[in-house]
Amino acid sequence: MTVETRTEGLGPVRTDTLLSVRNVVKHFPIRSGGLVRRTVGEVHAVCGVSFDLAEGETLGLVGESGCGKSTTARVVLNLLPATSGDVTFQGTDLMSLPRKAMRSLRRQMQIVFQDPYASLDPRLPVSELIAEPLRIHGLYDDGGRQQVRDLMKTVGLKPEHGNRYAHEFSGGQRQRIGIARALALRPKLLVLDEPVSALDVSIQAGVLNLLDELQTELGLSYLFVSHDLSVVRHIADRIAVMYLGKIVETGTAEQLFTGPAHPYTQALISAIPLPDPRKERARERITVVGDLPSPANPPSGCRFRTRCPKFAHELDTAQQSRCVDDEPTLTSRDQGHPVACHYAARRELL
Amino acid sequence: MTSSGSVHHEEIDLSPGSGDAAGTRRGRAGDVVLEVRDLSVSFPSGDGPVRAVRGVDYVLRRGEVLGIVGESGSGKSVTSMAIMGLLPTTATVTGQVLFDGRDLLSLSENALNGIRGARVAMIFQDPMTSLNPVYTIGAQIAEAVRAHHDVSKEKALERAVELLETVRIPNARERISSFPHELSGGMRQRVVIAIAMANDPDVIIADEPTTALDVTVQAQIMEALQVAQDATGAAMVLITHDLGVIAGQADRVMVMYAGKLVESGTAEDVFYTPRMPYTLGLLGSLPRMDRPTERLTPIPGSPPSVVNMPPGCPFEPRCPKATDLCRETEPELRETTGPEHLAACHHAESLVGVVADEVFDARVADADTLAKLASEGEK
């Protein structure tokens, strides 16, 4: 069905590519205080990120806070203008699209936010929250009422609760409202920005299963942004790991979890405790040192070197100088999947 | 209760790692250091009393890590706040908390101050709110030392440096003059751990100590906690919603639901042979990183309101195993696979050899409307 050819670092290029992101850069200005507010520096939030997303596929974008994953998601939807780079959705270049055309294209691409408490208007009843996107795009008069009821039922809410307000629902139910709202316009792409992070595990599982079922039936593509690797392994087909604005490793979920080759991915996987006492207590730990450097002033060469356990403990001075001077690119390096480390080596950690 | 209570204040060893004294002045590992009996907490509300904790019993033994898990609102944090006497005066607290032969709940504020922070220390979730933003971290650690020991400021600051070194804060000597906002979240939490260690406590209560932190930092903080525990020989109550943290750290585990203990046992008992459907459901809802999971098994519904609770098992409305008995009578904790493995379920035996997806239904979406949506999409 799909033909795969590989281009270096970009992951598989498929004929059914829905979304294509190339070299996206997003800098935020740092302004001085006072009246003039001169720009005194720049936060390099996203620095040359590229990936593809196929129809019906889920790409997990993982990393810790400040790695640029949410900024990437917003740039993809053109909610934030990119500093440079290209985003192509179904063959249309979003960066040069006029506002009006962008607006109608937005029907195809929707977002679900992390915090279901902050993202729903407290003054609208649920049926209106879900109807709002239909009204905005002039689709409500054509059977909108029934559609809203169907959407509520689909996501596991009772249609008779349509006249209640968001605060009357639990966190999990609110997130379902957010999903129903995003689905109302029958999008092709859902950007899910930490959609289950605010929820308790027993509730989180319900939302994850719902997303699974919706994808199977409706053929949706998901860009799933999360800091939780367990959740990402469960839901994603492919995963891109971000660190300080760059993708450091990408591959299928299977590849990344059975043979992570970048020291950062290894540290991430090794840091997450497994809910299994015997396995957890027998695990090998790879710990990073220190804290995230400032994205306004990232380290030279490899951005991870200041915290890299391999750099600190395994490399000699000559090898280290390569990390300091020479920025590793995201290419295959005989690891079976693209990884941005001069000394990439797969390791089994689980 | 221990033979040593009276000796405690005579000789104070301020060097780090004075835990070697633990063997003599504190009794042996395995002795009960803290005992909670029938602890209940309720808060008044317009709709009637909010019964946040309902009859919790447990013992904490010297040197062990006792994990308390539960979801938001299960009462796990309120239990510890009650033990520490940190609840607002509007709260009604009943039961007993026995520490060193005394009931902490009946002590005066003054007497409690001699124990709190010295022999029972607490670590909170958010280090930004548990540290004072206008004092240097050195001053705050020294304050904790001087609150319980009559030493000079200089000596207390020396101790602060040692403590910061113990929790692996680099350049501790310079760092003591930093303010909390100058440190990262992980560093701040280390400072809080250093303060908890300051007086060589017998018990450390850690309430979601890693929840606000990134995963790589979480792992570092868990390490620092272990260092703190080794150095002081303290027993630890580790409260978290993260079953992974519990699996790695806890010797014994207690699961809370709707203000009650619903299951307790060794980590292996609870993780490998759960005997309460809620525990089984929790484990089934977890996506696993170590293997591909086809389907998760969410627990339907949401936790009950703890105001005006109906009779019967609080988990009954969400439990696929529920029968009339569960609706009428709330089950008590009872022995299951062994004397240490307790579960509060009338049907605990029916969970033998059962996995989560045999009990809970994985399907969430409404099949009919979803199919309708799919067919409309194709048009």
Q: How many Cβ atoms are within 10 Å of B226's Cβ, its own excluded?
A: 13
At A195, give phi and psi (nearest 5°): -70, -20
What is each CA distance from A42 to A32, A70, A298, B184, in whole angstroms? 11, 18, 11, 21
Whether B118 is covered by a domain: the verdict is no
Give the three-class secondary structure for A229. Answer: helix
Could you tell me the two tokens for B261? 């203990």
Q: Which of A64, A70, A201 to mutate to test the interface with B (most CBs of B within 10 A)?
A: A201
| pLDDT at residue A139 in the model | 92
Contact pairs from chain A to chain B, CB under 8 Å: 178
Asked if A285 lies within 8 A of B219 by C-beta distance, the reply is yes
User: Shortest Cα distance from B304 to chain A (angstroms)?
Assistant: 11
Whether A133 is covered by a domain: the verdict is no
> What is the ipTM, given to two decimal places?
0.87
Whether B142 is covered by a domain: the verdict is yes
| pLDDT at residue A15 in the model | 67
Which DSSP state fits A273? P
For residues B58 and B34, give the distance between their C-alpha atoms in angstroms, rounded to a whole number: 8
Domains contained in chain B, number: 1
Whether A305 is covered by a domain: the verdict is yes
Whether A274 is covered by a domain: the verdict is yes
Whether B190 is covered by a domain: the verdict is yes
Query: In chain A, where do the E strands start and end?
Result: 5-7, 11-13, 17-31, 39-54, 58-62, 84-89, 92-93, 109-112, 189-193, 221-226, 238-243, 246-252
Compare CB distances from B287 to A219, A233, A254 and report the shortest one's residue: A233
What's the first-to-final CA gap in chain B, in angstroms? 77
| pLDDT at residue B28 in the model | 67
| pLDDT at residue B22 in the model | 40
| pLDDT at residue B5 in the model | 38
Compare CB distances from B289 to A64, A214, A229 and report the shortest one's residue: A229
A267 touching B, CB under 8 A? Answer: yes
Q: Which of A174, A190, A200, A262 to mutate to test the interface with B (most CBs of B within 10 A)?
A: A200
Asked if A202 lies within 8 A of B285 by C-beta distance, the reply is yes
Tokens 């990390």, residue located: A323
User: Shortest Cα distance from A130 to chain B (angstroms)?
Assistant: 15
- Answer yes or no: is pLDDT of A133 > 70: yes
Q: Which of A150, A226, A276 to mutate to test the interface with B (most CBs of B within 10 A)?
A: A276
Q: How many Cβ atoms are within 10 Å of B135's Cβ, its own excluded?
A: 14
Whether A280 is covered by a domain: the verdict is yes
Asked if A277 lies within 8 A of B267 by C-beta distance, the reply is yes
At A92, give phi and psi (nearest 5°): -95, 130
Asked if A218 lies within 8 A of B71 by C-beta distance, the reply is no
Structural domain that includes position B133: 126-198
- Answer yes or no: is pLDDT of A137 > 80: yes
User: Shortest Cα distance from B225 to chain A (angstroms)?
Assistant: 15
Compare CB distances from A288 to B216, B291, B295 and report the shortest one's residue: B216
Whether B146 is covered by a domain: the verdict is yes
Tokens 């316009």, residue located: A185
Render pLDDT for A52-103 as a digit per residue (tens, 0 to 9).
999 999 999 999 988 999 999 999 999 999 999 999 999 999 998 998 999 8
Which DSSP state fits A165? B
Structural domain that includes position A299: 261-350
Tokens 């090794």, residue located: A270
Whether A167 is covered by a domain: the verdict is no
Asked if A201 lies within 8 A of B220 by C-beta distance, the reply is no
The continuous run of DSSP H or E covering B22 comes out as helix B22-25
Asked if A170 lies within 8 A of B220 by C-beta distance, the reply is no
For residues A268 and B223, give the distance between their C-alpha atoms in angstroms, rounded to a whole number: 15
Q: Which residue of A has its CA nearest to B378?
A: A218
Q: Which of B370, B372, B375, B379 to mutate to test the interface with A (most CBs of A within 10 A)?
A: B370
Compare CB distances from A272 to B215, B296, B365 and report the shortest one's residue: B215
For residues A202 and A172, give the distance between their C-alpha atoms in angstroms, rounded to a whole number: 9
Asked if B373 lies within 8 A of A218 by C-beta distance, the reply is yes
| pLDDT at residue A1 in the model | 38
User: Shortest Cα distance from B290 to chain A (angstroms)?
Assistant: 5
For residues B102 and B96, give the distance between their C-alpha atoms in angstroms, rounded to a whole number: 9
For residues A185 and B274, give the distance between their C-alpha atoms in angstroms, rounded to a whole number: 43
For the whole model, what pTM was predicted? 0.89
Asked if B344 and B260 touch (Cβ cutoff 8 Å), the reply is yes
Whether B352 is covered by a domain: the verdict is no
A203 touching B, CB under 8 A? Answer: yes
Asked if A287 lies within 8 A of B215 by C-beta distance, the reply is no
Whether B150 is covered by a domain: the verdict is yes
Render pLDDT for A194-204 as a digit per residue (tens, 0 to 9).
999 888 998 99
Whether B133 is covered by a domain: the verdict is yes
Mean pLDDT of A96-111: 91
Residues 6+ apart with CB under 8 A from A282: none
| pLDDT at residue B26 in the model | 54
Whether A154 is covered by a domain: the verdict is no
Asked if A201 lies within 8 A of B241 by C-beta distance, the reply is yes
Single-letter code of the amino acid located at B176: I
Whether A310 is covered by a domain: the verdict is yes
Compare CB distances from A186 to B288, B363, B377 and report the shortest one's residue: B377
> Which residues of chain B does A253 touch, with a Cβ-Cβ cutoff of 8 Å?
292
DSSP bridge partners of A61: A225, A240
Domains contained in chain A, number: 1
Q: Which of B76, B291, B296, B368 to mutate to test the interface with A (most CBs of A within 10 A)?
A: B296
A348 touching B, CB under 8 A? Answer: no
User: Shortest Cα distance from A156 to chain B (angstroms)?
Assistant: 6
A218 touching B, CB under 8 A? Answer: yes
CA atoms within 13 A on the CB side of A80: 19
Asked if B282 lies within 8 A of A208 by C-beta distance, the reply is no
**Parallel, antiparallel or unpaired: strands A238-243 and A58-62:** parallel
| pLDDT at residue A5 in the model | 39
**Parallel, antiparallel or unpaired: strands B235-240 and B252-257:** unpaired
Asked if A287 lies within 8 A of B216 by C-beta distance, the reply is yes
Mean pLDDT by groups of 10 residues along chain B of 379 residues: 39 44 53 95 92 95 95 91 93 95 93 92 86 95 93 94 92 93 91 93 94 87 92 94 94 96 96 96 93 88 86 94 95 93 95 91 87 78
Chain-wide mean pLDDT for chain A? 91
At B56, give phi and psi (nearest 5°): -95, 130
Whether A337 is covered by a domain: the verdict is yes
Whether B34 is covered by a domain: the verdict is no
Residue A37's pLDDT band, with cuts at 50, 70 and 90, is: confident
